[in-house]
Amino acid sequence: MKKKILTVGLILIFFLNLLCIISNAEERSIIQISKDKINLGEEFNLIIGNEKINIAAGTIWIYFDNEKLECLTKSDKINIVDNRIIYTWISEDGRNRNLENLLNLSFKSKKEGIASFTIIGEFYDENGNEKKINGQTAEINITKENELNSKEKTSKNIEKSNSVNLAEMRLNKEGIVPNFSPSITDYYMIVDEDTENLRVTAIPESDNAEIIISGNKNLKNGLNNITIIVKNGTNTKKYSINVTKTAQKEKANTNLETLAIENYELMPEYQENIIEYNLQINNTEEKLNILAIPENMKAKVEIRNNENLKYGENIIEIIVTAQNEITKRIYKINVYKRNEEEQKEYEENQQKIIEEAENKIEKIRNTNNGFVQGENEQEIREKNEKNKWENKLFMWIGTILSTITLIFVIVRIRRDKIN
């Protein structure tokens, strides 16, 4: 009992401190390309925006490879100079707006190879608080059309004919986690006690493949396993759907309330219906500080393969066992650890991007190109100072709550000893 109380107290302290860190995090991904590979001469879109970022004004600089790419979008609102695009946006009423689909640019490829984009920016919210976007990047692969058609398409047709992947999988009931993907083989679902059978639709990628479905009829109370076997010649692949049949769904809850890595950001951001994530880490990391808190605090969480991380690919598993001790779910984090050479190159690129961003921002400031209308520099400084004090107050409150929690845990343990 004492260990449980202490564990809960320490988790709460860590969580409160993490909230302080998250509350001050400003940067989120805002860059997206409509395709990752195109033919020579083909068009595609570069989309800038993120619905979770709210600003009232800002300017972004988009650097692109103008030897391989041509920007087709023409507008008075954007300024194209050589290999960069400058775009300034101001909210009409001066209030915050989310950045979803802030800018959609059309490009055309004109030379084969890997073409890259780099985005930097400086944004302000309605209170004059600054939010920077530092050096976000994206790439697109440009291939000769003949090469793509003759080699890649032939290869893809061969792969498709020999494939043991499912092209589609669905059930007659909602609630399967995660959403279907041909590369994901393990799925999870909770159904009520009235469910006797589940109708499974499974369509293979290859017309040559055979589908065998079992375990979806006469479901029993507790854990059931539905298997979908895809056979194509001598090759097979198994998809599994772990179905818990119960009247007490909360006791079968294996959702994580929180999944976070200290000093790193998961890709994509954590969502309960996504069970696989990607992460790149520094070459000096041996172990990650992982915060995994279940929605049902009576569920158990076990973290595997988080020791002695090696250079290159690592797979960390987070296994959540529900309160009923039957239902389980496995979350995976694909961790790539940079080696010393890769780390050095990464740090040099980041420093270069930051320096370029700072130089561009300083140039804009020197030309008195303001971002917030109707406010002078003194007013903005005053608001920034006010915001700093508010942030400090929030951090002090978090620290005080953490201290109170720790004192409570210690007092409780001592009281138990006395009793």
Which uninterrupted H or E stretch holds 151? none
User: How many angstroms separate the Cα of 192 from the Cα of each of 46, 195, 250, 258, 371?
Assistant: 45, 6, 12, 26, 55
Strands 69-71 and 113-124: unpaired
**Helix, strand or coil, per DSSP, at residue 119:** strand
Q: By CB neighbour count within 10 A (0-12 exposed, 13-18 middle, 19+ buried), where does 230 fall?
A: buried
Tokens 């496995």: give the residue.
330
Q: Contact at 8 Å (CB) between 294 and 301?
A: yes
Residue 398 has phi, psi (to 5 degrees) of -60, -40
Residue 75: per-residue pLDDT: 74
- Where do the domains of the chain lie, and which CATH numbers do they carry? 31-149 (2.60.40.680), 162-247 (2.60.40), 252-340 (2.60.40)
> Angle at CA 380, nearest 5°, toward 374 and 384?
150
Tokens 């917030």: give the residue.
372
Residue 24: per-residue pLDDT: 40
Q: Contact at 8 Å (CB) between 212 and 164?
A: no
Residue 114: per-residue pLDDT: 87
Q: Which two tokens stand for residue 196?
A: 């006797």
Q: Which residues pair with 211 in a beta bridge?
A: 230
Question: Helices 377-418 and 2-23: crossing angle, nearest 10°?
Answer: 180
Q: Contact at 8 Å (CB) between 232 and 164?
A: yes
Rounded Cα distance between 356 and 134, Å, is 10
DSSP string, 46-76: EEE--TT-EESEEEEEEEE-TTTEEE----T
Single out the residue of 271, 208, 216, 273 nearest to residue 234, CA to CA.
208
Q: What is the pLDDT along the chain (419 residues), one digit of tens a residue?
A: 544 544 445 455 444 444 444 444 344 677 888 777 888 888 888 888 876 777 888 888 888 888 889 998 877 778 888 788 888 888 777 788 777 678 888 899 988 888 888 888 888 888 878 777 766 888 888 887 555 455 555 566 666 778 999 999 999 999 999 989 898 999 999 999 999 999 999 999 998 999 999 999 999 999 999 999 999 999 999 999 999 999 999 999 999 999 999 999 888 889 888 999 999 999 999 999 999 999 999 999 999 999 999 999 999 999 999 999 999 999 999 999 999 998 898 888 878 777 776 776 666 556 544 444 444 445 545 555 555 566 566 666 666 766 676 666 565 666 665 55
Residue 376: per-residue pLDDT: 46
Q: Which two tokens stand for residue 374?
A: 């109707």
User: How many angstroms separate the Cα of 176 from the Cα of each of 185, 201, 273, 327, 385?
Assistant: 12, 13, 9, 14, 48
Residue 111: per-residue pLDDT: 87
Residue 154: per-residue pLDDT: 58
Residue 25: per-residue pLDDT: 39
Task: Look up residue 198 and give its DSSP letter.
Answer: -
Provide the whole-model pTM.
Answer: 0.53
Question: C-alpha dihedral over 255, 258, 264, 268, to 10 degrees?
Answer: 50
Rounded Cα distance between 109 and 65, Å, is 10
Q: Contact at 8 Å (CB) between 122 and 130?
A: yes
**Helix, strand or coil, per DSSP, at residue 338:** coil
